[in-house]
Amino acid sequence: MTDLAAAEELAGTTAAGRLALADVTKVFGSNGEQVRAVDGVDLTIEPGEFVTLLGPSGCGKTTTLRMIAGFESPSSGRIVLDGSDMISVPPNRRPMAMVFQSYALFPHLTVRQNVAYGLNLRKLPAAQIEEEVSLALTSMNLLKLADRAPNQLSGGQQQRVALARAMVMKPKVLLFDEPLSNLDAKLREQMRLEIRRLQRRLGITSVYVTHDQSEAMAMSDRIIVMNGGRIEQAAPPDEIYRRPASVFVADFIGRANFLPATRVESTGAGTARVQVLGETVEVPAHPDALTADDVVLMVRPESITLTAAPAGGEIRGRHGKVVAAVFYGEHVEYELETETGNILVVASDPDVDAIFAEGADVSLQFASDRAWLLRQP
């Protein structure tokens, strides 16, 4: 859908920016009630990196993005782009461009005029504006729609215009505020791949805010999981998923079972022997979990396999009973009753004849190297 060659030509030699946030804090409210929306965020984003701010609503991700853009001013802290301080720069002078959740296209301008808006403000020669706008429209596959009004476009097309309008400015940093959340599921999946492909090709430093974890997983070089105004973890998607820094992250990204465990001993570099489900196993562990008193063992539902067990057995240790079995086509989800509470198990590509019925007795195994020991918060 996108014309990457045109996009590259448009981007030319624009240098991607290095963006640093140092101890950025935002306190809302006056003397009465104060809310720390963002609380001491430290973050450095490398040139060309695609970083996603992810978290539940109210975690401070949008406020952080708006502080980067300049629409909010931090209560304290520094925002530095390529070595120059951004705090004292008003939003319209920051070399950044933002793509909004509501697209925010100017309804009284055509697609072409929308894309040309920022260049017109720069008072560039008309011919140059014309050329760059055409390149941007081509790269977003919008040339045929150039003379339409925004309200004559579909949601996906409007989002493309918003993207073209931001890209044509050749920003050092591209900011995205939940840009896909107004699109339907299929279009959303398609657009996120397009944005990712485009960004990777052009190498623009990008900050992307979303509450959709699969969006974050699919697009990011690095995911910043935020909670209560603080960064819980900043890491590449696989590390966030496999080695979450906290129970919050493990719970927020994907699904997880948290099995009560007792640490027997720490066995050297990042592993520990724990007592879980009545047995002792050696599992990888978060550094905090090596010293903490209370620990839990995170096991992802797809890491667990089930085998048939003799009927009528006592629910104890690895022995459990199927409470619910839901067939989704490409996978089956089981809810098991065990001595430590209910456990979620996912079996993919199931053999239809071998699905355990509700009430069946099963024995559960999990790959201990896929488990992850965490400190109990």
Partner 1 sequence: MAVTGLAPGAAGAAPPAAGAPTGRRGRVPVRTVVRQDPVTLALVVVVVAILVVLVVLPLATVLVRAVSGAGAEVLISMVTSAVNRKIILNTVILGVVVGLTGTVVGFLFAYAQARLKFRGKRLLHVIALIPIVSPPFAVATASITLFGRNGIISNQLLGQPWNIYGLPGLWLVLSISFFPVAYMNLLGMLRSLDPSMDEAAQSLGASKWHIFRTVTLPMLIPGFASSFLLLFVEAIADLANPLVLGGDFTVLASRAYIAVTGEYNVPAGSAYSLVLLLPAVTVFLVQRYWVAQRSTVSVTGKPSGRVELLRGFWGRVPLLTVVGLITALILTIYGTVVVGGFVQLLGVNNTPTLAHYQYLLSGIGNDAIIDTTLLALAAMPIAGVLGMLVAWLVVQRLRRGRGLLDFLGMLGLAVPGTVIGIGYAITFNTPLEIGGVRLMPALAGGGAVFGGAIAIVMVFVARSMPAGQRSGVAALQQIDPAIDEASTSLGASGLETFRRVTLPLIRPAFLAGLTYAFARSMTTVSPIIFITTPHTRIMTSQILSEVDAGRFGNAFAFCTMLIVIVLVVMGLLNLLIRLLPGATPAMATKEISA
- Which amino acid does the sequence have at 38? V
Q: Of 1, 29, 102, 308, which one interacts with partner 1 (CB under 8 A)?
A: 102
Q: Which residues, including other chains, have CB under 8 Å from residue 229's CB and lie 6 or more apart?
A: 26, 36, 37, 38, 39, 41, 59, 60
Pick from 166, 162, 182, 183: which is nearest to 174 by CA? 166
Q: Of 12, 29, 44, 358, which one interacts with partner 1 (CB under 8 A)?
A: 44
SS3 242: helix
Q: Of 11, 81, 97, 140, which one interacts with partner 1 (CB under 8 A)?
A: 97
- Contact string (CB under 8 A) for partner 1, positions 3-22, x = contact: -----------------xxx
Pick from 364, 327, 333, 330: which is nearest to 346 by CA? 333
Q: Give how far the C-alpha of residue 110 lies from the chain's centroid of Cα atoms, to the nearest Å.
A: 33
- 74 versus 237: smaller Cβ distance to partner 1: 74
Q: Give dist(CA 370, CA 242) in Å, integer.
A: 8
- 106 versus 328: smaller Cβ distance to partner 1: 106
- Contact string (CB under 8 A) for partner 1, positions 226-255, x = contact: ------------------------------
Is the Cβ–Cβ distance between 47 and 18 less than 8 Å? yes
Is the Cβ–Cβ distance between 241 and 68 less than 8 Å? no
* 60 lies in the site for partner 1, by CB under 8 A: no
Min dist CB 195 to partner 1, Å, is 17
* 109 lies in the site for partner 1, by CB under 8 A: yes
Q: Which residues, including other chains, have CB under 8 Å from residue 152's CB and lie 6 or more apart?
A: none
**Interacting positions 115-174 with partner 1 (CB under 8 A):** 117-118, 121-122, 145, 147-150, 152-154, 157, 162, 165-166, 169
Min dist CB 72 to partner 1, Å, is 9
Q: Give dist(CA 213, CA 218) in Å, integer.
A: 9
Q: Which residues bind partner 1 (CB under 8 A)?
A: 20-23, 27, 39-40, 42, 44, 69-71, 73-78, 80, 87-93, 96-98, 100-102, 104-110, 113, 117-118, 121-122, 145, 147-150, 152-154, 157, 162, 165-166, 169, 175
